[in-house]
Amino acid sequence: MTKPYETVVPASLDEVNLLDAGLQNCPYHAYQMLRDDAPVWIDPITGFYVISRFEDMRQVLLDTKNFSNDMRGGQGGSREQLDSDRAARMMKLYEDKGWVPGATLAGRDDPNHKQMRAMFNEAFKPKKIDGMDPFVRDTAYKLIDAFVDDGHCDWIHQYAVPLPLIVIGAQVGVPEEDIWKIKAWTDAWVQRLGMMQTEEEEQWSVEMEIEAQHYFQKIFDRLREEPDDSLLSVLVNREIPEWGRTLTDNELHAEMMADTFVGGSETTTNAIGYGMKLLIDNPQVWEKLKSDPDKYLRTFCEEVVRLEGPVQGLFRMAANDVEMHGVTIPKGAMVNIRYAAANRDEREFECPEQLDLEREKPGRHVGYGSGIHHCLGAPLARRELFWAFRALIDRVDDMRFAEGKNSFEVAPSFSLRAMKELHVEFDAKPADQRIDPSAMDVDSKATEIDNPANQ
């Protein structure tokens, strides 16, 4: 028997605490209460205004006049609201030992955001992303082939973590052998984003990020002297015409952690992890998926992101007083947009808690955001998910949870959803039935989904 979830199921709104690790193990009952009884909920602990319904979420994401991304440093904005003195002490660490991170792409408003995003669009142009498909495919098969004959694995550590890290690392010129060093840094960053650390733990996270800054600074300096065709070289060297300059070191350091390695790996890792769990929990879905992956695989990937959102919620700041559902959100208030609650809204999705491979318009979710801040890396994330599970289908007949080894607990975080580990046993396909990935035609369109609502 696997260990049971240790969950907290609130009986009323008065018991909802989104900072409770027990609730985070399975927050969906709480989200249901918020959607039904308090679609604009003033969190008594944080003071955040929490938005939980799908249509309200879309309104906030698309209304850039009233809801701003510029929160004086992004994640710092939410921390400052909780404890401004502590936030100042963390900032002093950056000043003394490293670089104060500049505003990320996600932490800017137009026109500044539009100008900066144009440079990222160049780095992530479709032709460049299309050209990555063979590398993503080969990386997925290489990783799964390394353990498939063992009959067991830690799906998170051996597959879900390294796949997107190797892919994004290759795009910025990081040696593959350094990915676990980078994973330690992104873990520290993510733990700070989660807002559940003691001050000593947060100081450790900041110092880890500063260690990462010194690592990446050497790469920035090299690329300025010797540009290449990597994504990072574009970010380091391309001038933003409206600004008349390239990105500063402070801005580059923010982009490396927030948008490149955390945004480009952590969320995909979490989706790959929960995708496996959903398949084992729903064996009929696994059988159907195997029966026709060309028909069902893209929809499965979208359903994973919708059902077990790697990003549970992020922030906007009210730029003006706004009224929603009879609640006035005052100018300057921190608004927590709860993506994971919106993606299970029965007002938008039929049978929202079911994993449905026949779901119409499966891309209609807000797992990748919406509007001008729609996730720039969504096309790459979709490719990574597609090839991660295509390789699984081609290498494994069946799988199950390793008995007695899984708690399924999530890493404590207000913002993200990640399992710490997932031990799986499986029946590998015989060697003579395994597809050679190098013989497969790579059609980039096969990894895309029709009509994603987020674009």
Query: End-to-end distance of the chain based on CA atoms, in angstroms?
Result: 43
Identity of the amino acid at 392? L
And the tokens for 302?
Answer: 């979208």
The pair phi, psi for residue 35, each rounded to 5°, is: -60, -40
Nearest Cα to 225, choosing from 238, 237, 234, 235?
237
Residue-wise pLDDT for 17-71, tens only, equals 999 999 999 999 999 999 999 999 999 999 999 999 999 999 999 999 999 998 7
Q: Look at residue 158 in the predicted model and tell me its pLDDT.
A: 98
**Sequence spans of domains, the chain:** 13-447
Is pLDDT at 315 greater than 80 in this prediction?
Answer: yes
Nearest Cα to 302, choosing from 450, 422, 412, 99?
450
82-91, 94-103, 116-125, 441-450, range with the lowest pLDDT: 441-450
111-125, 207-221, 278-292, range with the lowest pLDDT: 111-125
Helix extents (H) in 326-437: 339-342, 378-395
Q: Considering the chain, what percentage of its residues have pLDDT values greater than 70?
A: 93
And the tokens for 394?
Answer: 């081609």
Nearest Cα to 426, choosing from 252, 209, 280?
280
Higher pLDDT, 453 or 258: 258
Is pLDDT at 212 greater than 60 in this prediction?
Answer: yes
Give, to the nearest 10 degrees, the angle between helix 267-281 and helix 378-395: 40
Q: Look at residue 104 in the predicted model and tell me its pLDDT.
A: 87
Q: Look at residue 377 in the predicted model and tell me its pLDDT.
A: 86
Q: Look at residue 134 in the predicted model and tell me its pLDDT.
A: 94
Q: What does the pLDDT average to over 261-270?
A: 90
Q: Name the band, by pLDDT with cuts 50, 70 and 90, for residue 276.
A: very high
Is pLDDT at 127 greater than 60 in this prediction?
Answer: yes
Q: Look at residue 76 in the predicted model and tell me its pLDDT.
A: 40
The pair phi, psi for residue 427, each rounded to 5°, is: -105, 110
User: What mean pLDDT is reported for the chain?
Assistant: 90
* Burial class, 425, CB count within 10 angstroms (exposed 0-12 / middle 13-18 / buried 19+): middle
Distance from C-alpha of 72 to C-alpha of 369, rounded to nearest angstrom: 21
In the block, which residue shows the tokens 């996730």? 375
Residue-wise pLDDT for 135-170, tens only, equals 999 999 999 999 999 999 999 999 999 999 999 998
| Strand boundaries in 311-446, DSSP class E | 314-318, 322-324, 327-329, 334-337, 396-401, 423-428
Q: Name the band, by pLDDT with cuts 50, 70 and 90, for residue 427.
A: very high
Q: Look at residue 340 in the predicted model and tell me its pLDDT.
A: 97
Is pLDDT at 1 greater than 80 in this prediction?
Answer: no
CATH architecture of 13-447: Orthogonal Bundle (1.10)
In the block, which residue shows the tokens 């920035």? 220
Residue-wise pLDDT for 240-263, tens only, equals 999 999 999 999 999 888 888 888
Does a cis peptide bond (omega within 30 degrees of 0) precede residue 111? yes
Residue-wise pLDDT for 60-95, tens only, equals 999 999 999 987 543 444 555 667 899 999 999 999
Q: Look at residue 71 in the predicted model and tell me its pLDDT.
A: 73
Distance from C-alpha of 185 to C-alpha of 45, rounded to nearest angstrom: 29
Distance from C-alpha of 411 to C-alpha of 258, rounded to nearest angstrom: 18
pTM of the complete model: 0.92
